Amino acid sequence: MADVEIRNVYKSYGDTQVIHGVSVFIRDGEFVVIVGPSGCGKSTLLRMIAGLEAITSGDIAIDGRVVNEVEPKDRDIAMVFQNYALYPHMTVAQNMSFGLRLRRLSKREVADRLRRAAEILQLSELMDRKPRQLSGGQRQRVAMGRAIVRDPAAFLFDEPLSNLDAKLRVQMRLEIKKLHRELGATSIYVTHDQVEAMTMADRLIVMNAGIAEQVGAPLDIYECPASAYVAGFIGSPAMNFLACEVTGDGRAVHLNGSGELALNGNGATAGGGVATAGIRPEHIAVCGGEDADLHVTATMVEPLGADTLVHGALAHDGAAAGPELTIRLPGIVRIQAGEQLPLRIDRDRIHLFDAERGTRIN
Amino acid sequence: MIKRVTFASKSLPYLLLGPQLLILAVFFFWPAGKAIYESFFLSDPFGATQIFVGLENFQMLLVSPEYYDSILVTLVFSGLTTLAALLSGFVMAVFADRAIRGVLVFKSALIWPYAVAPAVAGALWIFLFHPTFGSVAGLLIALGVDWDPLLNGAHAMTLVVVAAAWKQISYNFVFFLAGLQAIPKSLIEAAAIDGAGPGKRLWYVVIPLLSPTTFFLIVINIVYAFFDTFGIIHAVTGGGPAGATNTLVFKVYTDGFENQDLGASSAQSVILMFIVIALTVLQFRYIERRVSYA
């Protein structure tokens, strides 16, 4: 077990720079999730930690030792790949013990570790099978087993669940989390799935276009996203963004067509000018007509049972003309498309972002 | 489970198989049948008279020391050619798979030898290695090697093996390269993280995963060395010196066309046919078991 430090790491392929200086310190035993859309550099970052990609500049240190020039096999890490990367010509037992045998552990030690890992992952019955005789979930477990038996300083996961069906994904998500609690090993997990990111992470690194936009606990990021990009990426359905005008003292905003909304103790750092207001769908409620901040015309209603999603367009003088808005109402709410709804916005939870740079300004 | 195809019309399957069967009949069954027929007769050089002699042609062969020599020569020649062609093709494919720049040039250059006709390839090699005017031979002699493939049987064998292997390397290279490129990169990376260096990755992961390709190439190369190397031997050594490179196929030709002993020649081709059938069956039964089709 060890901490992992990423210090000002850059990565270029030829003239194209894909990672523009990322610095994160990952504590011993922490479960860190790197999340971002495809092409944001999250896998590249993980592969640099693994030693599968060269580091253009900056340092990566595992347990205090800079590993930039260290071969993957000497970094004391284990990795679980998206396609599992099981050796098709070896049995489950051979797959799991390959790394141990290469390291010339005694036969007894190998057998011991195999047995323990097989018990943890419920693979004991499958040890003599070949990967092609296993289901997706079982293969996933073998890939995990291959990592566990090594007892590495850190586990690296590269989108390990994205090849599984939805139900299995939820199950494996819980299992990996449980496993982490039992083993307590430092884990770095790459995913594009924000549900995985939110539920599994001790800390989250949100990446965008080669930079770490925000690093923090999942709920902190949810409640206080550092940029419009992070705000839009974390949370589903995505946050609503509306153009707004900040009052001179920065204490209130005018939304498109709304009255003055006081930002209770949540005021902008600088007053005046246009900005982008971010409002999560769950922070908008249907209210009585006289309390309404905004009116929308519902265009589509998605009843999910636990809650109801209403998509609508801001209404001006009775006509639906404004920008789109998504509202999440708890429970089952009977609303028809075309209905006009008076809405009230939770003033404590309005996020303000710089209209051009997207950085948070309140 | 084998999928069964059902046809609405009864004649359609025959029609579909027709062209293939016709080709097989004209180019395989007819000549093969003719050879079997001829092997029971003694014919005069002009084919005017034929006397039925039963198995006498075969009996003569089986007591002829020359024939056993030829079998030995064939085994040595095929074994060495296959080994050399497979190893060189594999090594080059591994290099090409690793290359980042100039792969296309490398690949194209390596494929050229395959486009050269066997007789031309043979002529090329004898021009390089001829003891009196060969440029490479001159170099060897200058270096103190007593090089003479026209008189020394071992030298002659080396030369035909090199020439025959050279022509087959391209073929093996293409298949090995395709095989290497079909191995998912993440498997190699997983092995690297598991602690295997380049050599161990090759030995424990790449070579086992290439086994279907290797098996296929072994069959193809042995059949090539047995049958398709006539042109090379004809051009380079003509079976000599003193029968040192007189393979079974070459002997069929010399006995039949030069010595005009059609019966003996036919009997030899019949035996050859059975050898190849047996060889292929053996290969599939014993080697294929160890192949993992992932």
pLDDT tens per residue, range B164-197: 898 888 889 989 998 998 898 889 999 999 888 8
CATH number assigned to the domain comprising residue B84: 1.10.3720.10
A72 and B205 within 8 Å at the Cβ level: the answer is no
Residue of B nearest to A151 (CA): B194
CA distance B14 to B189: 50
Top CATH class, A240-354: mainly beta
Which residues neighbour A66 within 8 Å (Cβ) at sequence distance 6 or greater?
Answer: A59, A60
Top CATH class, A4-233: alpha beta
pLDDT tens per residue, range B219-232: 889 888 888 888 88
Which residues neighbour A124 within 8 Å (Cβ) at sequence distance 6 or greater?
Answer: A115, A118
A73 and B200 within 8 Å at the Cβ level: the answer is no
B37 assigned to some structural domain: no
Residue of B nearest to A98 (CA): B194
Looking at the partner chain, which of B187, B193, B292 has a beta carbon nearest the beta carbon of A78?
B193
Give contacts of A81 with chain B, Cβ < 8 Å: 186, 189-190
For residue A342, say if its preceding peptide bond is cis, omega within 30 degrees of 0.
Answer: no
Give contacts of A77 with chain B, Cβ < 8 Å: 193
A98 and B204 within 8 Å at the Cβ level: the answer is yes
Q: From the CA of A80, how many Å to the nearest CA of chain B?
A: 8
On the question of pLDDT at B143 being above 90, the answer is no
B82 assigned to some structural domain: yes
- Give the best residue of B189, B193, B200, B211 to mutate against chain A (max A CB count within 10 A): B193
Residues of B within an 8 Å Cβ radius of A: 184, 186-187, 189-197, 200, 204-205, 208-209, 211, 292, 294
Coil, strand or helix: which one is A75?
Answer: coil
CB A50 within 8 A of CB A77: yes
B28 assigned to some structural domain: no
- Give the best residue of B101, B188, B189, B194 to mutate against chain A (max A CB count within 10 A): B194
Q: Other CB atoms closer than 10 Å to residue B82's CB: what's the count?
A: 25
Mean pLDDT computed over B41-52: 78
- Going by C-alpha positions, the residue among A136, A141, A137 that lies closest to residue A92 is A141
B205 and A88 within 8 Å at the Cβ level: the answer is no
Residue A301 to residues A278, A339, A360, B45, B115: CA-CA distances in angstroms? 21, 10, 31, 96, 67
Total number of domains in chain B:
1
Give contacts of A132 with chain B, Cβ < 8 Å: 294
pLDDT of B149 reads 75
B194 and A146 within 8 Å at the Cβ level: the answer is yes
Range of the domain at B175: 58-290
Per-residue pLDDT of chain A (362 residues; tens, 9 = 90+): 688 888 888 988 888 888 888 889 999 889 999 998 888 888 999 999 998 988 888 889 988 888 888 888 888 889 999 888 999 989 999 999 998 888 888 889 888 888 888 888 888 888 889 988 888 888 888 998 898 888 888 999 998 888 888 888 888 888 888 888 888 889 999 998 888 888 889 999 999 988 889 999 999 999 889 888 999 888 888 898 888 888 777 777 877 666 677 777 666 777 677 888 888 999 988 887 777 788 888 888 898 888 999 998 887 665 556 678 899 998 888 888 888 888 888 888 888 888 888 888 87
A50 and B193 within 8 Å at the Cβ level: the answer is yes
Domain boundaries, chain A: 4-233, 240-354
A72 and B294 within 8 Å at the Cβ level: the answer is no
pLDDT tens per residue, range B54-102: 787 888 888 888 888 888 989 999 999 999 999 999 999 988 888 767 7
B190 and A87 within 8 Å at the Cβ level: the answer is yes
Give contacts of A103 with chain B, Cβ < 8 Å: 195
Residue of B nearest to A80 (CA): B190
Looking at the partner chain, which of B186, B200, B294 has a beta carbon nearest the beta carbon of A89?
B294
Looking at the partner chain, which of A72, A73, A85 has a beta carbon nearest the beta carbon of B186?
A85
Residue of A nearest to B190 (CA): A85
B208 assigned to some structural domain: yes
Q: From the CA of A58, how many Å to the nearest CA of chain B?
A: 22
A85 and B205 within 8 Å at the Cβ level: the answer is no
pLDDT of B78 reads 92
Burial (CB count within 10 angstroms: exposed 0-12, middle 13-18, buried 19+), residue B71 = middle
Which residues neighbour B44 within 8 Å (Cβ) at sequence distance 6 or greater?
Answer: B50
Give contacts of A150 with chain B, Cβ < 8 Å: 194
Give contacts of A72 with chain B, Cβ < 8 Å: 189, 192-193
B273 assigned to some structural domain: yes
Residue of B nearest to A97 (CA): B194
Q: From the CA of B26, how many Å to the nearest CA of chain A?
A: 43
Residue B284 to residues A36, B1, B179, B212, B276: CA-CA distances in angstroms? 51, 21, 20, 11, 12
